[in-house]
Amino acid sequence: MIDSTAPPIAALRQQLAQAIVGQAALLDRLVIALLTGGHLLVEGLPGLAKTTAVKALADAVHAGFQRIQFTPDLLPGDLTGADVYLPATGEMRFVPGPLFHDIVLADEINRAPAKVQSALLEAMQERQVTVGGVTRALPPLFLVMATQNPLEQSGTYPLPEAQLDRFLLHVALDYPKADEELRILDMDLQRHADGHPALARQALAMDAAAVLQARHAVRRIHLAPILRHYIVELVRATRDPGAHVPRLAGMVEAGGSPRAVLALAHAAQALAYLRGRDFVLPDDIIELAPDVLRHRIVLALEADLQGLTRDALIAALLRAIPAP
């Protein structure tokens, strides 16, 4: 049961946990994205509840939700909308595309060609869409949750590495544990036994105004100067890892940008808020650093040859740079 005295964000997090078994990191990051207005890239094999989790979030905040299935024949206008000629009046009228929603699920983003991906990534950064020379703002809550299936490589279009920076977080999903998988099955059987085969529409945990209010509160979470230095040092280390770990010299082609510094700070503030604190702890930063940095690092060929992964590189830097 949701405790009605809990702060709205705790109630929201609880509500997500009722719809999704386990996957605690994904659920935390969904809430962090909501709390920062940052976009989320979720990578995972089929059937790991990517779509279900995003839908549960949209239900819980009672936001306008739209799923866009990315396919090879999709056009940028299918996302942004287009000017349509109205024969009756002889006028052009703008018909908004699916991007004009609070929460947009961009499913299997790597199945659409680069120009469609770019239209999405641009809208994510600008929070506005320009069609026919007219710029229109997207809703204030606007949040993109994109999914990517790492298996399906043939006939897909890799995301432009240079634009991945626009995602606040990159979450890599793993299989649930055995006991969790059993609970997923139990839950499914129970729902059918109760005669509610579809996920019941959940009690409203938060409305859009409450989300925007929480976003303001998150930006006021205290981030001590020593932790600001730590964040900057971590991100800079991804550009020149050899300065901290000699064997990593020359392994990186490009590291995190200043946007990565802001992303790590804002995400850590949101995690602190979610955990009920009004100040950031080093552990908030350490926990989120892999998901903030993973997709912003372009490894050099040498790293591929040696089998060095981005995660291993980030882990080595986290070990080498002492937390305050």
Give the residues lining the site for Mg ion (CB under 5 A).
Answer: 50-51
- 149 lies in the site for ligand ATP, by CB under 6 A: yes
C-beta of 146 vs 313, nearer to Mg ion: 146
23 lines the binding site for ligand ATP (CB under 6 A): yes
Judged by CB under 6 A, the stretch of 14-22, 68-76, 231-239, 250-258 that binds ligand ATP is 14-22
Q: Closest CB to ligand ATP among 112 and 252?
A: 112
CB nearer to ligand ATP: pick between 117 and 149: 149
Q: How far is the CB of 122 from ligand ATP (least distance, A)?
A: 25
Give the shortest CB-121-to-Mg ion separation in angstroms.
20
According to CB under 6 A, which one of 9, 11, 20, 221 is a site residue for ligand ATP?
20
Applying CB under 6 A, does 22 fall inside the site for ligand ATP?
A: yes
Residues 6+ apart with CB under 8 A from 290: 311, 314, 315
The span of 17-25, 162-170, 230-238, 258-266 binding ligand ATP (CB under 6 A) equals 17-25
Chain residues 24-83 in contact with ligand ATP, contact rule CB under 6 A? 44, 46-52
The distance of closest approach from Cβ of residue 51 to ligand ATP in the complex, given in angstroms and rounded to an integer, is 3
87 binds, among Mg ion, ligand ATP, none (CB under 5 to 8 A by kind): none
Residue nearest to Mg ion (CB): 51
Q: Could you tell which of ligand ATP, Mg ion, none binds residue 184, using a CB distance below 5 to 8 A set by kind?
A: ligand ATP
For residue 188, which of 180, 179, 178, 198 has the smallest C-alpha distance? 198
The C-alpha atoms of residue 234 and residue 281 are separated, in whole angstroms, by 15
Q: Which of 7, 77, 113, 176 binds ligand ATP (CB under 6 A)?
A: 176
Task: Give me the amino acid identity at 169.
Answer: L
Can you give the binding site for ligand ATP, defined by CB under 6 A? Answer: 20-23, 44, 46-52, 149, 176, 184
